[in-house]
A and B are shown apart, each in its own frame.
Chain A
Amino acid sequence: MNPLSIARRPRSPFIRSERSVRDIMRDVLMALVPGALVALWLYGSGVVFQIGLAAASALITEAALLALRGRPVRATLQDHSALLTGILLGLSLPPLAPWWVPVTGAFLAMTFGKQVYGGLGQNPFNPAMVGYAMLIISFPREMTLWSGTFGDSPSFSTSLTALLTSPDESWWDSIARATPLTLLHDGLKTTMAKGLPLPDPALTASILINLAYLTGGCFLVFRQALDYRIPLAMLIVLLAGHMTLQTFGGGLLGSLQQLFLGSTMLGAFFIATDPVTAANTPRGRWVYGAGIGAFTLLIRSYGNYPDGIAFAVLLMNFAAPSLDALTRPKAYGHS
């Protein structure tokens, strides 16, 4: 036998997907379009500013750090992963946050969430959520500057003013609108407990945007760009857990509403499913998704922050390596 043939023998996996990282990332970017358009319609041009600034900052940071590490810059940037991180972060930010929020957030995400670990594929935590968590811990006031609801989006000049200048409190009080989850979190809890419904325009906006992300997510499942197990497990646990809480008097919403509030659908289909930081085995993915759903519900119901997707995802990112080790499928022929 020719000794060279051992070295030249192709290595597993023998069945390969023809799709590259770049193709999958492009699919994900396309699937984000409906959600982004609905966000633009509801929250005004601030959405575009946030996405643009976060994406630009993510790309520039990634390029600078790749150059510092002596890695190929252009080829790596073309896998679109930095772009996707920036866009996901931009979509999670409040549309009227000042310009330095997306810029700092994307910088921190790419630096401390990705490149310090060695770049794409090596990062244990979802970079976009690392950036988001750092921002919401450091700048709690700026991270709650939501404005606009169904049929009441802030004008272009308002968005620009909020982005470039730091307006005072009274200016904010005139335009800021709390999100349904924030309303639930502070103050309205008492009203909700009495069975009063949420204010309608805010709720409609939240449901519309979540439906748009759900559409994009279904497109990705159809294209097999993501594993249906993670979002399905997360949504089932969120719903079932919420109904359980309601039975014991803890839940504050109609049962289906929990699924269409905050960034539930964005988190379920676009953030929890990040192939690098999620669990990899089929059974591990069920557990991983279920864990995110459970943590989200717990943080929403009992935590300090109105929405808990980011922290839930980061917590389960911690668990993913152990989940993979515990749920490794048995090799054929082994008992």
Chain B
Amino acid sequence: MKTHWRSAAKLAHQGLWSNNPALVSLLGLCPLLALSTSLVNAVTLGLATTFVLITSNGLISSLRHHLLKTARLPLFMLVMAAMVTAVDLLLKALLPELHEHIGLFIPLIVTNCQILARAEAFASRQPIPLALIDGAFMGLGFTGVMVLLGSIREILGTGHLLGQAEQLFGDAAKNWSVTVIEDFDGFLLALLPPGAFMALGCLVALRNLIMARGTPQQPFQHVLLKDHSGQRLSPSKGSGTSA
């Protein structure tokens, strides 16, 4: 039992931080960049992706002994496409207004490489509970970055946060919109695709910075100055600094 908890905690750490789909493996960038224009869009797509990740991971794990090895990738895709269709229909039925805005991107979840990557690398080799946990935390890691990116872009681009929250949370959320920066017309670039790339780049850089702070500095030059036999070359004056 104890080992189970330990492996679950390990999966959580991987999904949320050390192997985060959006910040480390940089998978699923198309929906990530296209729908992080506002917090509400970002949360919706993040949760939809999480749902697909959990269900497809679970299904593939339960089918793992019965899938033809040579035809596994198309079979994974079929399972994922079925789950994505389910999410699409659910959204259409429950949140028709929101679906009208972002409906275009929901079928695209199936092209999110992260889902296929988890199916191939994890779910098809692991028992069902672990596959479910992995799907959940990978999805939450993705959602977390979506939320962060969506908030940054919405604040910079419009000056507000949580605009049009009623589309996701119902009529009670009509007044949730918060003005973060007063008298601000908006920095349009943040809402455009280049702004998405820059904001994501800054988040990746921030993560790398935190990782670099945690580990001791690598002796960078020693690695560079070793020849093939592993012998250290003596650094000659001026050779490395001619620039």
* Residues of A near any B CB (own CB < 8 A): 7, 11, 104, 112, 116, 134, 137-139, 141, 166
Contact = CB atoms under 8 A, between A and B. Distances in A.
Nearest to B186: A138
18 contacts: A7-B236, A7-B239, A11-B242, A104-B187, A112-B198, A116-B201, A134-B189, A137-B188, A137-B189, A137-B192, A138-B187, A138-B188, A138-B189, A139-B185, A139-B187, A139-B188, A141-B185, A166-B183
Interface of B: 183, 185, 187-189, 192, 198, 201, 236, 239, 242
A141 B188 CA distance: 12
Nearest to A112: B198
B213 to A, nearest CB: 13
A139 B201 CA distance: 23
A134 B195 CA distance: 10
Contacts of B189: 134, 137-138
A311 to B, nearest CB: 13
Contacts of A139: 185, 187-188
Nearest to A140: B188
Contacts of A11: 242
B236 to A, nearest CB: 5
Nearest to A104: B187
A320 to B, nearest CB: 20
B70 to A, nearest CB: 41
Nearest to A68: B209
Contacts of A104: 187
Contacts of B187: 104, 138-139
A139 B187 CA distance: 7
Contacts of A138: 187-189
**Which are the 3 A-B pairs with shortest beta-carbon distances?**
A138-B188, A138-B189, A7-B236
Contacts of B242: 11
